[in-house]
Amino acid sequence: MSGATAENHAEEVRLLIEERLGIKGKTLDRAVARAGRLLPKWAQREARYLAQAEQLMGHPKLRLMVDEAKLTKARASLVEHLKSIDPTERRKTKLLGTLGVISFNLILVVAAFITYLVWQGYV
């Protein structure tokens, strides 16, 4: 496997992270770091391996340290996971979660106000 192939794998995953998660990064390492908890631990581990392999492929002697089967498997699993993420569904879920928190807090404030009015004898 050539260094260009590892670079292509890393770039493909980086572009999918940007497209599906909306997180930009100049390198795959930076994009994964910025993604944080949006990616599961196993995906972060695989992406870091892919980024490390990309760097090692640039050096003729260190290239031998890269396991090509693991590299291909890491790319395949990351691409499969990232393609399963629907950006519109993520936005909708995030919006509904935020609205749920706001409405719950509003209900608590109204209940506290009514309790205060009853306690003071106005109701």
pLDDT digits (tens, 9 = 90+) for 51-62: 999 999 988 899
56: nearest Cα among 77, 44, 70: 70
pTM above 0.85, yes or no: no
Q: What is the pLDDT of residue 36?
A: 93
Gap between the Cα atoms of 51 and 9, Å rounded? 9
Q: What is the pLDDT of residue 1?
A: 61
DSSP-derived 3-state class of residue 29:
helix
Across 40-64, average pLDDT: 93
Contact between 50 and 10 (Cβ < 8 Å):
yes
Across 85-94, average pLDDT: 95
End-to-end CA distance of the chain: 78
Across 39-58, average pLDDT: 94
DSSP-derived 3-state class of residue 22:
coil
